[in-house]
Structure 1
Amino acid sequence: MSRTQTMAGIEYPTRPMIAVTAERLPAGGQAGFAYEPKFDGFRCLAYRGRDRVVLQSRQQRPLGRYFPEIVDAVARLDTSVVLDGELVLWREGRFDFTALQQRLHPAGSRAGVLAATLPASYVVFDVLALDHRDLRAQPYAARRAVLDDLLGRQLPDGLVPMPVATDPAVARVWLTEHSAAGIEGVVAKRLDQPYRPGGRTWCKVRTRLTAEAVVGGVLGSVTRPEALILGRHDARGRLRVAGRTGPLPAAARAELGALLLPAAAGEHPWPVAIPSSRFGQRPGELVDYLQVVPATVVEVDADTSFERDRWRHATRFLRVRADLQPNDVDPRTRTASAG
């Protein structure tokens, strides 16, 4: 599609506005801030023209064929519009990113079946154009008022308005008390700010979790590990690969190198190579590592992307827990903190 083509009064395609990571929630200022929970999903721009709907990813790739139920929902709006939001999938009491990824099936014939068995929702947090009027230059507060009016008049199944608050106390509750539902953090937006495609002036604060895990392997050498392969017990008591840490600091490498012991051949519960998908990486590849005796417990700092017994993102090593044995590690124990 030509970059000069327009839909709903706005050039197509456009790049979404991006949030950069911050250590703490911004507050105060002359204009004030709005806060939105950050859900675990796919960023998506939705374009509704006179006779068609286009769903587009953050990387400007088409998503409509994978989510026909969202295309139908946007098509039921009674005006031309460009929306910004997040595609999410709610399953078993939390946002399920892994199930959402299953919707990106290469066979087009599967789209309808997956839409019925794994239905998605489109959580809308901004409107960039309405009835052929470009709204991007308007402040966030004005755009949000337009969005609330639009979705207040009509809310087709599959569309959900993003919760929003101007009270930092509410944002801190989202950060600290709802991580189990898959809320990754909070996005803060200045109320007087226009929408700048590709701009990075929103900020996001991620919910962080501390958790214990068993060291089952290392990258590098056993005496000088560069990163740890982590395990946690499942409901049957089996030690499962749960993720990995990022690079270890020099002091941690020396400390862990003095504690870890190589596992004897054939006596480790894991295979000698681990599928990369266990670490949230591209599937189909194997990660080689060195197996160690799974007797050392460590505490790590992680984000909320823990599902199906594993972390999708690398964790950060905090300390060795010499006071704990592997069987003391409770897979349900994770403590949330705001930033």
Structure 2
Amino acid sequence: MDLPVMPPVKPMLARAVHEVPVAEGLVYEPKWDGFRCVVFRDGDELELGSRNDRPLTRYFPELVELLKAVLPERCVVDGEIVLVTGAGLDFDTLQLRLHPAASRVRKLAEETPASFVAFDLLALGERDLTGEPFSVRRALLADVVDGELARVHLTPITDDPAVARDWFTRFEGAGFDGVMAKPDVPYEQDKRVMWKVKHERTADCVVAGFRWHKDGFGVGSLLLGLYDGEGVLHHVGVASSFTAARRRDLVEELEPLRHNALDGHPWRSWAEAQSQEQGRMPGGQSRWSAGKDLSWEPLRPEWVAEVRYEHVSGGRFRHMSRLTRFRPDRTPDSCTYAQLEVVAPAELATLFGTPKA
């Protein structure tokens, strides 16, 4: 492979803001909930690169052949791999594609074929486009990406902040992760020169355990639970990102809850097994853990924490939440799924139209 922009490429990044920014020259796109992917094509050679330099090519063989039929002979395209269903984007099922067994990958490629959304063009032919403003790159991208085929899309774009705000609210139920705001600047690898507006809301959760910080001198994260309609406490995610001082303080604050914590604990079997195959549990290795220590310390599930989260996927917080405060005025049994805001799904066809086969 010999391209003007060679792998690996560290994708251009964004800073988080709480509302859609308005400024001269900004354009807006939906923020996709999938795997960031930079596609490198040089004739018959095509590679799918991830944002952390890990190749994705072997996990999405159906995209390799599809993109060869769609993209120019020599190009580098920044985009997102997503899994589109009738109810929206399905990130949980997309994660299953990162499987070590080639036979499993082939089976999933047939059963749950992925799609690709293109949103930037870094090279075309012999031309390195990273020094060009985004407006130039976008115009060229629109000329070369054939969106007539199913499962390949050119991301929608607008310069109207009112339209961006409408996307932000209307398409959340379809699995979109928010809205991106892009200035008309060159492509700067690994630099936060864009803005992302993501959904954020609060929930009261049961604090049922914690993990030690990697330095061993404080609490790294709190393990959170919510009760379902049958009174079963489910692990829904973690709250983290504490300062060093707060990590140490939490050790002292949580110490009383560690006494006899496993007596009657709803996750006792998980604590004893420490095996992910027992169900949805706060420990156990996975393809995402990369050997990290996921062991955890149980706490008597008596405290309630108010946390900020972005959205829920598969009954769990999609990303790590942040601790706002403890709630001594709330009882654990009041922490149920019923409090979570449910957003009505929006059909992808509303945004894309019906894809052609």
Query: Is the CA contact (8 Å cut-off) linking 2:147 and 2:154 kept in structure 1?
Result: no
* Conservation of the 8 A alpha-carbon contact between 2:36 and 2:81: yes
Does structure 2 retain, via aligned residues, the 8 Å contact 1:16–1:84?
Answer: no
Task: Map residues 202-241 of structure 1 onto 2, 5 A cutoff.
Answer: 202-218=194-210, 227-234=221-228, 236-241=230-235
Pairs within 5 Å for 1:320-331: 320-331=326-337
In structure 2, the partner of 1:27 is: 22
Partner AA of 1:57 in structure 2: S
Distance 1:73 1:242 in 2: 36
1:103-252 maps to which residues of 2 (within 5 A)?
103-151=97-145, 153-190=146-183, 192-218=184-210, 227-234=221-228, 236-246=230-240, 247=242, 249=246
1:232 deviates by 0.9
- In structure 2, what is the Cα distance between the partners aligned to 1:178 and 1:334? 17
Per the normalisation by structure 2, the TM-score is 0.76
Structure-1-length-normalised TM-score: 0.80
Spell out the pairing of 1:250-329 with structure 2 (5 A cutoff): 253=250, 262=259, 265-271=262-268, 272=271, 274-276=282-284, 281-282=289-290, 285-292=293-300, 294-304=301-311, 306-329=312-335
Shift of 1:137: 2.5
Normalized per residue, the structure richer in helix is 2
Amino-acid identity (%): 36
Structure 2 Cα separation of the partners of residues 265 and 112 of structure 1: 42
C-alpha contact (below 8 Å) 2:32/2:178 kept by paired residues: yes
Q: Unmatched 5+ residue regions in structure 1?
A: none
More strand by share: 1
User: SS at the partner of 1:138?
Assistant: coil
What is the aligned counterpart of 2:66 among 65, 70, 73?
73
Opposite residue 329 of structure 1, the aligned amino acid is C
1:333 CA drift (Å): 3.3
Cα distance in 1 for partners of 2:233, 2:335 equals 11
Instruction: Show the counterpart of 1:61.
Output: 54
Q: Which runs of 5+ in 2 are unaligned?
A: 213-217, 275-281, 343-357
How has the CA–CA distance of structure 1 residues 333 and 148 changed in structure 2, closer, same or farther, with 3 Å as cutoff? farther
How far apart, in 1, do the equivalents of 2:160 and 2:248 lie?
Answer: 41
Code of the residue aligned with 1:26 in structure 2: it is: P
User: Contact 2:15–2:192 at 8 Å: present in 1 too?
Assistant: no
AA at the equivalent of 2:227: H
User: Distance between the aligned counterparts of 1:173 and 1:262, measured in 2?
Assistant: 50
Q: CA deviation at 1:55?
A: 1.4
Distance 2:40 2:219 in 1: 49
Instruction: Classify the secondary structure of the residue corresponding to 1:6.
Output: coil
CA distance in 2, matches of 1:254, 1:283: 25
Change in Cα spacing, 1:302 to 1:252, as seen in structure 2 (3 Å) is: farther
Letter in 2 for 1:196: E
How far did residue 65 of structure 1 move? Answer: 1.9
